[in-house]
Chain A
């Protein structure tokens, strides 16, 4: 299993299940959903590596710069599925090939009857020309659409070798001249008016070259139907696979959505409407966006609830799939989750095999996890930066100071001159224009992005765009917060604009003050370093509310972002936050003030990468427990928690 699929084993087993089903059994269209960098491409690479050696597969990247109409995509994937595997006979797609041929060049004819007479001769001529030039007809499509079959990001060497094998050129002629049998299929297709096979092919040609948009769409529907029929026909024979694996990367693009629509519709028409066997295609598509056909991005009107990849299985799909009458029944949406701490740690260890120079940084797994929240690509980017930077390898103050400005670091010898923050944001926010990005930097100040976008005047469209790109953390939670990694980077960028930082947080603080949500108000006050104000609030609350509630409010407020100076480790930063005049005696206020500053610095992995302030926080809670007569267990427990700190597997609100 590739490093990219750590934490995705459910996907592997699900695809394995689908490939083992009987040819005519129903299979889901597995959708891997998540923001850019959530590991969908890695998953494609891992699936290729796992199943490629023994299963015919096709990989098409629909997110390339190049447009990829359905006919090209069909030709590309058919060409890959024709790959000869040792355990199976070679698959052929004569109906699709004939359909593509028939609709390729415009036929020279003055009447339907003439077209009917000429078409066989012309088809032969087309095919011979293509074979003379490219080896076989389908290979010709590589000339115009070859860019869409590049290897997925992060694909292993083994996966690359398999893909190269699938794409290798060579003469793969149609076995004999099977035009007649395939043409007969077109003659019986319900979308075509002509019952005569050759006239039906002429009709296809007319749709392509003289038809309107509807005709073009009908043509694509017929072609995909031909592909599925070819597959059904193939798998009926002995020594043929039970299923074909199709991997569609970046299927949220215009052409990707179009292709998925065609696929779902063709499958539904065949398997439900016409009552025929389901096609034997196992589809794994990835999307960085919510697809419009699913309704509003809130998901309210889509019968599906996103499923996690860990427990993905056919049983799970069958249990949750909507009724068969709806074409939504074919989807199986899996929300790719972030990596947990253990997975990050294992990933680093796996990377060590190829990059032993990462060995000193295995200790930094908790830091990386806190920083990135486990977004797979972010973890990779940070590790890549470590590999190519002069980061101090010894744990200590020097390393802390180096990590303090990690987002502004650039790889020492990399080709990419961008800082980590720039590179990561460019990838994550690909497609956002600069104004949206600037607005997002400000909106990111709000824990609740919807509040930020509303207050800062960017409107719902930006929020919808972010939500549609799966950039909200933990979908389904009450607070629609931006994913911690992009938020941290956006705030890092906002911190470079101190006035805007202060203004945005002031605005947000005032908003929450007006709404009476003081804890949120204090969160933003602290962001602007109004420590005394925050101290006053928490000192007042200390005797007023139960300790547990106080701790909760304290944690929420001290999770506030900061724009502390770029120099110095946690203790130096802390020193800069000390009151101008040291208190003469230890009071509740002095203890709480210190605890606020310590926790605030601690909660940002960039200010306290190694969590060196744990003991200070523990001491603070201990002191607080001594200053309170009742209800001190919660405080004591909190002190213990920091003293014997154990990183949570998944990110919580502390940072």
Chain B
């Protein structure tokens, strides 16, 4: 081998220089990435996104999305940690919705907190409560951000968890019925995850994979229930006030269904054309609602069917309260989104003196009204002195959101239990949704649940609620969808 005669100190410097440059070439980008990631990172699986640096993604409870969620997230974290500590066999179920809310969201902080509390109750019951079975459930909390703006990131994160040690099999919740959430739903389904919507009521949801079910009634069912109730109360004339925003499927399906079902040959009629406002035009929808009170005085309907979001309802009630024809009483009946209003909103609405009725998704008192239509064991947890009241004593749960979330997670849990005879995967759990008949019906707190092929619940009872003078919802009666009695257990 030829001798090298280059000056050793120069060679050393060059070699060290090259090594330093190489190390820097690797380290600097890594460090920059790391710093960027640190900056963009809120916690494990949760990153900052958007101009507002909103923390979105998936957590096992170790990251707190909002202060008001801390108590319930801590409990979820504790439950999840317990699984790891005990080395229990588990799969994961995510509860996904918008947990970081702004004025643009239809949901309130209370409603999403209640959802998470209900979800936790279902996890607890499945893991070590009255419905304990194996494999256990690790509950993941998935935040899509305000108005589900960052659903893609969260959905991708969830899809990754499918093959990680979390072994995600089902995603529940899924948020309100808007376009982003529906797109997210399809993507999750395509990726083999079982899906259970809790409060998604829009009628037309297409899932070609057949992995989607929901525990809530559809808007059509609600409209039918409302119509049936009005007719039962001998209301003959009504008017439909509807949000015309393009992406608000909830309002459209609700308005269309009520229009279809209310008018009949027996003299029930809509005394005016549908009155519309467009909530997507931010500065004008409030004015539009304001002008409607005068029109209503002119049309003199006995009832007004409000096909819009709960937060718009309060404005609408304000407008009616200031109606020119103060001598005239109006009854306003609307859909389940009213349950998303906060206690303050409801109190404010009650102050208007307008009689407000709405079709809810569920109510704790349903079990007392109709003991056969809901599971006693499940309903018991939502009663005063029940688990929720014990765990979260400062929260009221009349809005039914906790029940719906609970039932959604419980449905997933039952699917997991049923699939446990073989491999528990998203696909196998989704298949079980179609086997939940007769004895395998899900004993939900909102009713015994079995599902049609399109994922809608079969024979779901609908509570008719009344907003009392104290701003609290009272169960008026439990309505049968489409006039048919619920199947008895």
Contact = CB atoms under 8 A, between A and B. Distances in A.
A242 B5 contact: yes
Interface stretch (A81-89, A396-404, A446-454): A81-89
Nearest to A240: B3
A88 B4 CA distance: 10
B3 A86 contact: no
A239 B8 CA distance: 6
Contacts of B1: 238
B256 to A, nearest CB: 88
B8 A88 contact: yes
A237 B1 CA distance: 9
A238 B7 contact: no
The secondary-structure label for the interface of chain A is: loop
A52 to B, nearest CB: 16
Contact of B9 (A23, A86, A235, A242): A86
A89 to B, nearest CB: 6
A231 to B, nearest CB: 14
A236 interface: yes
A89 B11 CA distance: 11
A235 B2 CA distance: 11
Interface in B1-47: 1, 3-11
B408 to A, nearest CB: 72
Contact of B10 (A87, A89, A235): A87
Contacts of A86: 7-9
Contacts of B11: 239
Interface in A219-254: 235-240, 242
Nearest to A239: B8
Interface residues on B, range: 10 to 19
Interface string B292-333: 000000000000000000000000000000000000000000
A16 B408 CA distance: 92
Interface in B226-245: none
B8 A87 contact: yes
A238 B9 contact: no
Contacts of A87: 7-10
Nearest to A89: B8
Contacts of A240: 3
Interface string A239-272: 1101000000000000000000000000000000
A238 B4 CA distance: 4
Contacts of B3: 23, 235-238, 240
Nearest to A242: B5
A23 B9 CA distance: 21
Interface in A11-31: 23
Contacts of B4: 238-239
B346 to A, nearest CB: 85
A235 B6 CA distance: 13
Contacts of A237: 3
Interface residues of A, number: 12
Most A CB contacts (10 A, CB to CB) among B3, B6, B7 go to B3
Contacts of A88: 8
A363 B318 CA distance: 120
Nearest to A54: B7
Most B CB contacts (10 A, CB to CB) among A87, A89, A237, A242 go to A87
Interface in A80-105: 86-89
A541 to B, nearest CB: 70
A539 to B, nearest CB: 75
A242 B11 CA distance: 17
A238 B7 CA distance: 10
A241 to B, nearest CB: 9
A236 B8 CA distance: 15
A82 to B, nearest CB: 15
Interface in A139-164: none
Contacts of B10: 87
Interface in A46-93: 86-89
A87 B7 CA distance: 4
Interface in B354-395: none
A236 B4 CA distance: 10
A86 B6 CA distance: 11
Nearest to B1: A238
A86 B7 CA distance: 8
A607 B1 CA distance: 70
A43 B240 CA distance: 117
A3 to B, nearest CB: 30
A569 to B, nearest CB: 61
Most A CB contacts (10 A, CB to CB) among B4, B8, B11 go to B8
B5 to A, nearest CB: 7
Nearest to B6: A239
Contacts of B5: 238-239, 242
Nearest to A241: B5
Contacts of A239: 4-6, 8, 11
B11 to A, nearest CB: 7
A88 B7 CA distance: 7
Contacts of B8: 86-89, 239
Contacts of A238: 1, 3-5
Most B CB contacts (10 A, CB to CB) among A89, A236, A239, A242 go to A239
Contacts of B7: 86-87
Nearest to B13: A86
A236 B1 CA distance: 9
B398 to A, nearest CB: 84
A86 B12 CA distance: 10
B161 to A, nearest CB: 55
Contacts of A23: 3
A531 B3 CA distance: 75
A242 B5 CA distance: 9
A87 B6 CA distance: 8
Interface in B200-237: none
B435 to A, nearest CB: 75
A239 B1 CA distance: 13
A239 B5 CA distance: 5
Most A CB contacts (10 A, CB to CB) among B1, B6, B7, B11 go to B7
B14 to A, nearest CB: 13
Interface string B73-92: 00000000000000000000
Interface in A524-557: none
Contacts of B6: 239
A238 to B, nearest CB: 4
Contacts of A235: 3
Nearest to A23: B3
A86 B10 CA distance: 9
A240 B3 CA distance: 8
Contacts of B9: 86-87
A567 to B, nearest CB: 65
Contacts of A242: 5
Nearest to A86: B9
Contacts of A236: 3
B10 to A, nearest CB: 7
Nearest to A87: B7
A240 B9 CA distance: 12
Interface string B334-356: 00000000000000000000000
Nearest to B9: A86
A89 B1 CA distance: 17
B9 to A, nearest CB: 4
A543 to B, nearest CB: 75
Q: Lowest 10 CB-CB distances: which A-B pairs, in order? A: A238-B4, A87-B7, A86-B9, A239-B8, A238-B3, A87-B8, A87-B9, A88-B8, A89-B8, A239-B4
Interface of B: 1, 3-11
24 contacts: A23-B3, A86-B7, A86-B8, A86-B9, A87-B7, A87-B8, A87-B9, A87-B10, A88-B8, A89-B8, A235-B3, A236-B3, A237-B3, A238-B1, A238-B3, A238-B4, A238-B5, A239-B4, A239-B5, A239-B6, A239-B8, A239-B11, A240-B3, A242-B5
Given A238-B4, A239-B6, 14 more contacts: A23-B3, A86-B8, A86-B9, A87-B7, A87-B9, A87-B10, A88-B8, A235-B3, A236-B3, A238-B1, A238-B3, A239-B5, A239-B11, A242-B5
